[in-house]
Structure formats: C-alpha cells, structure tokens
C-alpha cells in the first residue's frame, strides 16, 4: 500500500532534494489556531507534518514541547479532537503527509482498533509512538501496518548495528534518526557525525532517513539536509509559537505568521542543501 508519505518521498527523490519535516503540537494554543498553523506549515514549505498528540507525561520531551502539550490540554484538546483537526486539514490538502506523534496511553485508552480506523479515515498517514519499541510491536505497530498506516520508528545513537535490523523490521514510511541521546530541544549534533550515522543506517534499509532533535536554524536544517533525506524541526517552531502568545498563553494576531515565517526560512535552508551523493 502506498501512503502519502511514500508518494512524497518518491517525488522529492525525483527533484533531488531532501524533505523538510515540521512538528507542532495539536491544539496548541487552541484548536482553531492550531488548524491554521498546520495549514500554514504546508503552505510555507513543509513537506511532511508531524502533529503531536498532547499527553500529560511526555517523558522524552524537553520543556518547550512539555509546555505545548499542557497548553493544548488546558484548552481541552484530546486525541479525538486531534483526529478532527486532521480531518479538517484534509478538506483543503490531500497531498501533504501527516504523521501523528506522541505516547501510547491516549491511543490505548481510545482503543487501538477504533483509533486506527478513525486515524485512517481522518487522513492520517503514519504514526510515531515514542514509548513503543520493537519489543512491543504487537500493541500497535503490527495492527497499524495492517490498517495501511506507516509506523515510523526512531533510531538513536544507542541503536547499534546488532539492534538496527530489529528496529527497522516493521518500520515503514521513513526512519526518524534522533541525532543525540536526549530529549527534544536539546543541543544539536554535529552534521558530520550525523552523516556517518545516516550512512550506517542506510546499509540496513532503503527507507528515507530523516534526522531530528536539536535543529533550530535554516543553516542547521541545510547542513543536516546535505547528509540525510530530511531535516525535522519541532522545538524551534513550538518556541516561535509560544513567543507570539499573550501573557495568558492565548493566540494573538501574530501567532500563525510567526510559525509560518520561521517555516519558510527553514524550508529555504533545506532547499538550498546540496543533495548528498547516493
């Protein structure tokens, strides 16, 4: 089965450039503004969108994304409303791949089968679930693949050559390489070190490899895009959003633009990258 993710990476390969992948939290700072932000991401040059599912206890996220999740929960965001947001986004955009990223508990409580059916019909293309390693593939990964969704796995600096085959076995869409051992928003990894890691993973898989964690500027996004098939930016966008809010944490007239402008600048950085020799 070909998803929007597969189609998009095939197009990018033809164009000879890396993907620009963005992350924002669903419902941050409120559901209506969040929908406008997601639309702005795709219009400003994001090739793939990761949409965070808010969770009270995001144990792999740094302070920025923790706060974004709490802002969303405070205005009543739920997994159900996250799926509604995707459905609304799909009314105008049937091409941009959309990946839900988060933690397992909200999905487990929603009910795995019901979630997969609703996610598919809403227009979700893939899932990144941080706390489901291959050891727990029976929970969601295998059912998701059967339902026609991509299950995108994180590979990390601690995933050695012995373990990589297990991590990649049921991965589809792309591989998300976490450039550092750490939480989101932490310091960036050196592009050359990342290049070596990407080359190492490429020896095990033909899937595109996108790199995230610690990429904040157009220059950094470009440097990574020269070493990998995609640059992922999350915390920097979430920070731009947060800095546009009023003192009560509510959206202002500047909010959507603040995210859109940074997205456009980052997208330019990625597009300026010289594609690594295959």
Residues at the interface with other proteins (CB under 8 A): 54-63, 66, 73, 78-80, 103-110, 130-136, 153-160, 163, 167, 178, 181-183, 186
- Residue with Cβ nearer other proteins (76 or 148): 76
Smaller CB separation from other proteins, 21 or 154:
154
Give the active site residue among 6, 61, 229, 239: 61
- Nearest-5° angle of CA 187, CA 18, CA 145? 90
Give the span between the Cα atoms of 169 and 245, in whole angstroms. Answer: 42
Query: Is 241 in a helix, a strand, or coil?
Result: helix
Using DSSP, state whether 126 is helix, strand or coil.
strand
Tell me how many degrees the CA angle 54-59-61 measures, rounded to the nearest 5.
70
The nearest distance, CB 56 to other proteins, in angstroms, is: 5
Rank residues 45 and 69 by Cβ distance to other proteins and give the closer one.
Answer: 69
CA atoms in the 13 A half-sphere facing the CB of 258: 18
Is the Cβ of residue 5 or residue 79 nearer to other proteins in the bound state? 79
In whole angstroms, how close is the CB of 258 to other proteins at the nearest point? 25
- Taking the least distance from each CB to other proteins, the nearer of 31 and 218 is 31
Task: Tell me which residue of 250, 260, 243 sits closest to 28, measured CA to CA.
Answer: 250
CA angle, residues 239, 174, 266, in degrees to nearest 5? 35
Residue 135 a catalytic site member: no
Whether 137 is catalytic: no
Judge whether 205 and 174 are in contact, CB under 8 Å: no
State the minimum distance, in angstroms, from the CB of residue 84 to other proteins: 13
Q: How far is the CB of 57 from other proteins (least distance, A)?
A: 5
Q: Which residue has the tokens 């944490």?
A: 249
DSSP state string for 162-186: TTHHHHHHT--S-EEEESSSS-TT-
3-state class (DSSP) for residue 120 = helix
- Catalytic residue, candidates 6, 50, 137, 239: 50
- Nearest approach in angstroms of CB 14 to other proteins is 31
| Residues catalogued as catalytic | 50, 61
């Amino acid at each position: 089965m070909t998803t929007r993710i597969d189609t998009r990476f095939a197009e990018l390969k033809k164009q000879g450039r890396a993907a620009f992948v963005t992350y924002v939290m669903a419902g941050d700072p409120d559901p209506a503004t969040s929908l406008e932000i997601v639309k702005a991401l795709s219009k400003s040059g994001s090739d793939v969108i990761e949409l965070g599912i808010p969770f009270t206890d995001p144990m792999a996220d740094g302070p920025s994304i923790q706060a974004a999740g709490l802002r969303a929960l405070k205005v009543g965001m739920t997994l159900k409303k996250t799926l509604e947001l995707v459905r609304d986004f799909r009314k105008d955009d049937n091409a941009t791949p959309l990946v839900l990223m988060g933690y397992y508990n909200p999905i487990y409580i929603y009910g795995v089968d019901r979630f997969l059916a609703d996610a598919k019909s809403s227009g979700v293309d893939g899932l990144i679930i941080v706390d489901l390693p291959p050891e727990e593939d029976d929970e969601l990964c295998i059912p998701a693949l059967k339902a026609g969704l991509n299950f995108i796995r994180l590979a990390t600096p601690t995933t050695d050559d012995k373990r990589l085959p297990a991590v990649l076995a049921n991965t589809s869409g792309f591989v998300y390489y976490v450039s550092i051992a750490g939480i989101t928003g932490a310091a960036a990894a050196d592009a050359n070190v990342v290049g070596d890691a990407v080359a190492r993973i490429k020896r095990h898989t033909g899937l595109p490899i996108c790199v995230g964690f610690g990429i904040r500027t157009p220059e950094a996004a470009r440097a990574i895009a020269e070493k990998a098939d995609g640059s992922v930016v999350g915390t920097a966008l979430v920070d731009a959003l947060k800095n546009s809010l009023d003192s009560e944490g509510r959206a202002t007239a500047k909010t959507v633009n603040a995210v859109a402008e940074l997205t456009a600048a980052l997208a330019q950085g990625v597009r300026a990258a010289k594609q690594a020799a295959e």
